[in-house]
Amino acid sequence: MVSADLQKSGLHYARRLSYALILLFLVILMGSIGYVVVEGWDFLDAVYMTVITIATVGYEETHPLSHSGKLFTVALIVIGVGTTGYALGSLTQLLVGLQIAESFGRRRVEKEIEKLKNHYIVCGYGRMGKIVCRELRAKGKTLVVVEKEESFREDIEAEGFLYIIGDVTDEEVLQEAGAERARSLVAALKTDADNLYLTMTARQINPALYIVSRVAEEGVEKKFLRAGSNQVVNPYHIGGLKMAHAILRPAVVDFLDLTEKKQDVGVRMEGIQVMPGSTIINKTLGEAHIREKLGLNIVALKRFSGEIETNLSGQTGIVAGDVLIAVGSEEALHKLEEMLNNPPMD
């Protein structure tokens, strides 16, 4: 976005500057050759005389000039000063043009962010933040990256994400990212202290925001939950559990990995919320006929209260706000999402 504007403007002005520098080099070269031919000077003296002439620095002449040399110098001043001015003007245009292009490009991105609603905010573009961003984009979600380090700018732009470079623990930066209108926020900063402060600030801005916080230390999960996190993730704990399960329950781990792969392997696992007005509200799983209609297996159900039920039967009731954890094909999961979101036909 901003990068494309900068590249176009930069190429335009850089091309003009390169032409000007080539022209200036040719003037210096021809001037030097001219003094060698007209005055018979050695090449170094000729170059020196040419440079101080077109630079108008006012030094004394290297050697006394003949009548022909004076006429050549006058012509060199006219041509050289004009060329030097053109080169300096091109350099100024390059610097100013890039600043203007960056300013306009940045403003356009800000306007795009201002229009967003129910979007996702990923705070911190480290290794974990980058993975989160790519997963959200793969799901077609609109997101904004907020990163403090300027060094990440090029990488974020290359990925094509909307972004803000700033300290996300600053309330103004969070508001600029549209936290009051966002659907969810991921706190993936480097330290637990920053993530905790971010969580509290985001919760104050938007009480309805769904916040997922990254932690590194053991035993701090309760602090984050009290601060306003909906979910707390310790990547080291999760990684350790997965390694243990890979030894103890390799088949289960292989199956779960299969459902998370990007390529078409024929099966995925998704959690889809039952929205108000859905066709299956106040029905049982048996009455919804999800398996018969779509070929999906409902393996768990998360109630609106947060309770998770795994021992499901045909008599398990479904209400608005429940999240059905289903396993099946991508196409079938998409149809289930439509079923859970669409109201009944009159």
How far, in Å, CA of 204 to CA of 198, rounded?
Answer: 10
**All domains in the chain, ordered by first residue:** 2-114 (1.10.287.70), 117-238 (3.40.50.720), 266-341 (3.30.70.1450)
> How sure is the predictor about 345, in pLDDT bands with cuts at 50, 70 and 90?
very low
User: Are 203 and 176 a contacting pair, CB within 8 Å?
Assistant: no
pLDDT of residue 212: 95
Of 169 and 345, the structure prediction assigns the larger pLDDT to 169
Question: Is the per-residue pLDDT at 58 higher than 90?
Answer: no
- The model's pTM is 0.60
User: Are 36 and 46 a contacting pair, CB within 8 Å?
Assistant: yes
> How sure is the predictor about 99, in pLDDT bands with cuts at 50, 70 and 90?
low
Tokens of 160: 């094509």
The mean predicted confidence, pLDDT, of the chain is 83
What are the residues whose beta carbons fall under 8 Å from the beta carbon of 71, sequence distance 6 or more?
none
> How sure is the predictor about 261, in pLDDT bands with cuts at 50, 70 and 90?
low
> How sure is the predictor about 101, in pLDDT bands with cuts at 50, 70 and 90?
low
Least confident of 34-48, 64-78, 245-259: 245-259
How far, in Å, CA of 165 to CA of 15, rounded?
Answer: 29
Least confident of 202-216, 225-239, 246-260: 246-260
Question: Where would I find the H helices in the chain?
Answer: 2-39, 43-54, 67-115, 127-138, 153-159, 171-176, 192-205, 221-227, 235-248, 250-260, 285-288, 290-294, 330-341
Tokens of 236: 């080291």
How many Cβ atoms from other residues are within 10 Å of residue 134's Cβ? 13
Q: Which of 298, 268, 276 is nearest to 286 (CA)?
A: 298
Question: Is the per-residue pLDDT at 49 higher than 90?
Answer: no
Residue 341 burial (10 A CB sphere; 0-12, 13-18, 19+): middle
CA neighbours closer than 13 Å in the CB half-sphere of residue 129: 26
How many Cβ atoms from other residues are within 10 Å of residue 122's Cβ? 27
Give the residue-averaged pLDDT of 78-94. 80
Instruction: Give the model confidence (pLDDT) of 149-164 as tens digits.
Output: 989 988 998 898 999 9
pLDDT of residue 129: 93
pLDDT of residue 1: 45
Question: Is the per-residue pLDDT at 32 higher than 80?
Answer: yes
The residue whose two tokens read 């006394």 is 64
Distance between terminal CA atoms of the chain?
45
pLDDT of residue 193: 94
User: Are 234 and 212 a contacting pair, CB within 8 Å?
Assistant: no
